[in-house]
Structures are given as C-alpha cells and as structure tokens.
Amino acid sequence: MARNNKNNNRIDAQAPSRQDLIELLSEQGRPLKRQEIFQRLDVESEDEREIMRRRIQAMLRDGQLVKNRRNAYGLPEKMDLVRGRISAHPDGFGFVEPESGDPDLFLPPKEMRRVLHGDLVLASITAIDERGRRQGVITEVLERAHTKIVGCFVKESGVALVVPDESRINQDVLVPLDQTKGAKPGQIVVAEITQQPGPRQPPVGKIVEILGESGAPGMATEIAIRNFDLSHEWPKGVEAEAAKFGDKVDGKWIEGRRDLRDLPLVTIDGADARDFDDAVFAQRRSNSWRLVVAIADVASYVRPGSKLDTEARERATSVYFPGRVIPMLPEALSNGLCSLNPDVDRLCLVCDMSVDNEGRVTRSRFDAAIMRSQARLTYGEVWDWIVSGRELIRPRMDAVSASLRDLYGLYKALRKARTRRGAIDFESSEVNFVFDVEGGVDGIQPVERNDAHKLIEECMVAANVEAARLLQRQGLPTLYRVHEPPQGDRVESLEQFLKGLGIKITWRGRPEPRDFEEMVQRIKGREDRHLIMAVLLRAQSLATYQAENHGHFGLALDAYAHFTSPIRRYPDLMVHRALHHLHAKKNDQDFGFGMPEMKKLAEHCSHRSRRAEEAERDVTERLKCYYMERHVGDTFTGRVSGVTSFGLFVELERIFVSGLVHITALPNDYYHFDPVLHRLTGERGGKVFQLAQKITVKVVAVNPDERKIDFELDQ
C-alpha cells in the first residue's frame, strides 16, 4: 500500500484520499498512529501532512475512523463499533438504531445523559442481557440532531429551564438567568443550545424566540414547525426570484406550445384550496373517451440551480396544517402564476389520453401547452350537481357541464378497471377542525369523500401511470412512487387480529392487493369496519420515492410516478423536467440528472414526505386534545381500538379521537391479557373487554403537551 512519489508523479499538494487511508488500515489489520499513517502513505511535505490532518479529523467526524486511547486510528467495523441514530424513550433509557439495519443496541439512562434523541453516534457492545438484547455504551457523538429546542419555560428557585415539548427529548435545557430574553414561566419558547449534554451536565442554552402561551390559537402549528425543523421562512432572494416572472404569462412562453385555451378545462378542489395544479376535461366518443389532464408547468419557471430550485428541493413538499400551509414554492408562484386560476392564461403540461369502455388507457401523449381554466369548482358543488340531475352546473356553462357529464361516465369505467386489477380502496379517517372566533377548536367533523373526490383521484392516477410508463420506456432517470408489498411480520400480526374478530383469511402466504380489496368489501356492513380498515392500513409498507421502479402494491400497478402536483411536491417537478427533456428531443446525456443523484434525491424526498406527515399528525393530535379539554366530564360512544396489558385504547365515533382506559379504571378485578385474541378478561367477575367492542366512556383528563387523553368507563 505504500506509495512511491516518483512512480506516481504526484505533486506534494495532492494528499492521499479517504479511500487510500481506509484501504491502508484494512490491510494493516490494526489501528495506526498518525505518524505511522504518514510513513506508510509516503506523506512527506508539510502541505500534505496538513491536508492529511484535516482529512483525518473529517473522517473522525463522519464516523469513518475512530481514535482509541493510544491515539491510534482504526476502522469502526474492525473495532466492533455500531454507527447509528439515538432513539430515546420518555422513561430515560434509549437505543442506538444501527445504520446497517442490525438489531437495536440498548442504552441505559446513564449513557443517555450525554445525548439527545436523533443524535448520530458510535457505540460499542458491552453485554447481552437475559432477554438477548445487545447493550452498549457510547464511544463518540458524531453529529448532534438538535441545535434548538422548543418547550415550556420554567423558572424556579433562581433556576431557569426549558422543558422540551418533544417527549423523547428527556433532558431539560438549563438557561442562564441573563439569557432568558424576558420569557415568563409557562410560555412556549425556543432555546438555542450553546452547550450539548455531557455525562455530568445537562444541555445549556439561551432563549432566542418566545412563541407565546401554551394552547394559544396557532400554537400547535408553531410548535410543530420548530419540533420538526420545517423551513418556514424564505432565504434572501427566493421570493424576489419568484416575483420577477410577474402575474401574467409572458407571450414569449407561448411559442411552440399546444393552445388549449378554448378547451373547457376546469379545476375541482376542496372549498378551502388556494393552489390549483390540475385541471380536467373529458369527451365521450363512439367507443371511448378522451381524457385531458392538464398540470401546472412549474418546471418552466423553477430552473435547476436557481435559488427557487435550491429551496424547493430542500423543502421537497408543502406541509398542510389546519388553517395554514408551509408551501414548497413562494405564493407568487404557488397561488399566483403557477396556479390554474380561472379565466387567466397558464402554462401547463398536458396528458391527453384515449380510454376505452373497459377503463383502459389505449393511447396517451404529453405536450407543453397553454390553457385557460373555465371554472374553479369544488368537490361539494360537483357532487351536488351530479346528484341533482340539473342540466347546467352553473348558468351559461354548457361546454363545462357536458365535459363533467362525460367525466362522470369515464370515472365509472376507470373504477371498474380499478376493481378488476384489485387496487385497495382504503376509507379515509381524516377530520376537519371547526374554529371559533378566537381561534379555539370548536368542533371536529369527519371528512366525507364522495364520487367527485374519487373522480379526480382516478384521473390523476391515470396520468401518473402514463408518465411513469413513458419515462420507463425511454430509460430516462426519474423518481418513481413505490409501494412495496407488506412484510411478513405485519401480515402475521394482521392475520392474528382478523382471526381474533372471527374474520376468515382468504389468502395463503403473501397476500395480493386483490385480497385486501376483497377484505375491504367484505367488512363494509360491519359497525367496526373503520377499526378494521385502520389495522389493514397499518399492515401496509410505507410508500417511498425510488430511482428504480418496483411498482405500487396498493394501487395494483406495475409503474407509478407523481406527475400531477408539481406546486407542492418536488418529485413531480422532477418528472416534469424529464417530460420537457423528451418533448425537446434532447440527448439523454444532456438531461443533467443521473442515477446516483436520483437515488440521493429519492431518499431525501421520502424523508421530507414522512416528516411532513408526522408534523401534520402531531398538530392534528394536539388540536384533538385542545378540543377534548372542553369536554372533560362528558361522555362519548367509542370502540376499543387496542388492547394491552395495562388497559384499553378507545377511539370515539365520528371524531376519531383516541384515549386510554387504564386497567385501574376498569371494574375492580384481576385482569388477564390475551395478546392473540386481543382481550382482557376479569378473573373473578368474568368481564371481557375485547377489540372492536362498543363502549361508552367519560373523559377524565387531557394532556395536550403529551397528546394523551384518559377515559374511564361510564357505568
């Protein structure tokens, strides 16, 4: 491995690479001190040595090297070290989740004092406990996950603290009294960590932002934005770059595009939607339909390498909270020039399809076009019109109404095709919050999905499939939306759950999408169908973005990509760029995006998508708690959604609020837990509580900070 400078013709400033050092240590089979490394790699000049010193430090920070007590450097895998993220438990202990995918490493509370949830560490295995768990100690903290903590400000006995809102961050942040920024006890604040935790001292920080009183209107969203580190302010220059395009389509953009401005395209969205990125049109022919799906052409404005693109890529998705959106693009584009608002010219990419009577797409083409939406319609308005049987949806909208009638006929054919291929039709358990004049949660309403929602959904699925298949045929790198089949352990748990309810399993081995859809149809008449649907959904794998196509299990499709929402999803924008590239008939090597970059981008977008979902769920759960605070002492009807050794989880009907009936709140008895049948049985009284059982509960306590609600049986 030693190198000869003369043979390599290497100038002194070109020090050995990281790979050179890794190969050296692998060959030597033992840790080496820095001087030994220099000698074996022929590092002689002072310039080279300085470069190597910095390179070694960088490799230490990245966890590629480890320095032992003898000041020698070795490879982590050779020293039986585990590299992974900290997963903290509210009770003080925690785990290292290895990047390699190996089983977690248990860390006792003493070890957890020097880290916070999410930190990247190297740890060594010290023992195997009686349950076969690996136990360990932290040898080095490679990366801190938190520079700021949001929480409640506390000041007692001359000591100031920030108690983290995130329950998995179980160390309070100590704040010097001259660093409180005037915060008052009980306020929600943001503390910047100035000293990370160590074995003998807690984290130390200073207050940099005061958000306000706990429970104040909008506070749930403000906390989530900071807890999940969501970008909510635009870097300098981004909004100006978006605004420079103006609010009207410049005539120069129209040249070379299909002109669809006379086509009666319309948008159909929720009543509170502000950005409209898809419009539809349909026309019945003798033995088929023409379906046109027009999507906002974001890619023409957001160019690779621009400030707009850099920030959009970083955010990767818009985040939707009740009453507030954290957009991927500035409003000048998201609600303005890229939004398909009615009666104005807009650039679009259009998927023009022919669909036969069986709901199969027989032909499709993609074009850059110019369009003008003829109406901004809502799901409720369209559904009411369909049910009413009126001739026109609005006065003087003959062409739009004709298109909608044909669109509904096409939808029925697309639904039949969906059923034939066995796509899973999961029911929604989403809710809308009703706020009072002061911004408090006044009510919770379930989201009712009708055929107008499903109509748009089927049109978007058809366009997404055609985009994926075209890019796959052309071999152009892109991001596919992949949904893998459910894993074996999840299927096994699901089967136990269904058997516990007396539901027959129709599949053998690995289920197909059709098996799940048949189950959905079989449970439609049951009162506990919502609960069963939730368990079916939990059994599924998470959908991810991938650079390779592996199909979409839930939709029973061989290829799927996101094409229809480029205003709010970065993967859709990347699909648009690929389609533009094909439309321009450029060489593949000129595309500018290769597979290695696509793989990194897929991982990034998948992470951002999951983070957004977690943040949205966090706000939803907190708002449900705020609502239930108003109902302490009230009774509700619900169903047992989970059975554990310590009690029953109950989900309230229609508002989908969950809480716990602790085992001590059940009728006085000794209860025995059956994990297979999901039930608790009283030893003396024989009282049985089981999954899906309908019960009436009283709200006894609510803790919004911990997102916990306590019930007791109403007897």
The whole-angstrom separation of Cα 271 and Cα 381 is 9
Q: Which is nearest to 531 in space by CA: 660, 658, 671?
A: 658
Give residue 134's pLDDT: 85
Contact status, residue 101 vs residue 131, Cβ threshold 8 Å: no
What whole-number distance in Å separates Cα of residue 507 and Cα of residue 495?
10
Three-state SS sequence of 544-568: EEECCCCCECCCCECCCCCCCCCCC
pTM above 0.85, yes or no: yes
- pLDDT of res. 461: 98
Q: What is the pLDDT of residues 254-287, one digit of tens each?
A: 999 999 999 999 999 999 998 999 999 999 999 9
Average pLDDT of span 622-626: 96
For 568-613, what is each residue's pLDDT tens digit?
Answer: 999 999 999 999 999 988 887 788 899 999 999 999 999 999 999 9
Contact 572, 566 (CB under 8 A): yes
- Count Cβ atoms within 10 A of the Cβ of residue 83 and give its class: 0-12 exposed, 13-18 middle, 19 or more buried: buried
Residue 648: how many other CB atoms lie within 10 Å: 28
φ/ψ (deg, to 5) at 635: -110, 150
Reference 62, options 24, 99, 97, 11; nearest CA is 99
Query: Residue 657 pLDDT more than 80?
Result: yes
Residue 163, φ and ψ in degrees, nearest 5: -90, 115
Length of the chain: 715
- What is the Cα–Cα distance from 120 to 557, expressed in whole angstroms? 37
Q: How much is the pLDDT for 666? A: 95
Residues pairing with 504 in the sheet: none
Neighbours of 347 (CB within 10 A): 23
The tens digit of pLDDT for each residue in 361-418 reads: 999 999 999 999 999 999 999 999 999 999 999 999 999 999 999 999 999 999 999 9
Question: Is the confidence at residue 252, as pLDDT, over 80?
Answer: yes
Sign of the torsion angle spanned by Cα atoms 438, 442, 448, 449? positive
What residues contact residue 285 under an 8 Å CB cut-off, 6+ apart?
A: none
Are the C-beta atoms of residues 462 and 652 closer than 8 Å to each other? no
Q: Which two tokens stand for residue 476?
A: 């152009």
Tens of pLDDT along 428-475?
A: 788 999 999 988 999 999 998 999 999 999 999 999 999 999 999 999
Confidence at 7, pLDDT banded by 50, 70, 90:
very low
Q: Let me know if 97 is exposed, middle or buried by CB neighbors in 10 A (0-12, 13-18, 19+).
A: middle
- Reading phi first (left if > 0) and then psi (alpha if -120 to 50, else beta), residue 554 is in alpha
Output phi, psi for 204, to 5 deg: -120, 140
Q: Is the dihedral of CA 654, 660, 665, 669 positive or negative?
A: positive
Backbone region of residue 462 per phi and psi (left: phi > 0; alpha: psi in -120 to 50; beta: other values): alpha
Q: Which two tokens stand for residue 12?
A: 């002194």
pLDDT: is 72 or 468 the higher one?
468
Q: Please tell me what DSSP assigns to residue 393.
A: S
Q: Say if residue 12's pLDDT is above 50.
A: no
Nearest CA among 664, 652, 470, 445 for reference residue 560: 470
pLDDT tens digits along 462-499: 999 999 999 999 999 999 999 999 988 889 888 888 88
∠454-455-458 over CA atoms, to 5°? 80
Cα angle, residue 290 at apex, residues 285 and 293 outer, rounded to 5°: 160
**Tens digits of per-residue pLDDT, 215-237?**
899 999 999 999 999 999 999 99
| CA 535/CA 640 separation, integer angstroms | 13
Q: How confident is the model at residue 629 (pLDDT cuts 50, 70, 90)?
A: very high
Percent of the chain exceeding pLDDT 90 equals: 70
Task: Check the CA dihedral 326-331-337-342 and report its sign.
Answer: positive
Residue 69 has what pLDDT? Answer: 65
Q: Give me the domains of the chain, ranges plus CATH numbers.
A: 5-76 (1.10.10), 80-143 (2.40.50.140), 148-214 (2.40.50.700), 238-446 (no CATH), 470-609 (no CATH), 631-713 (2.40.50.140)
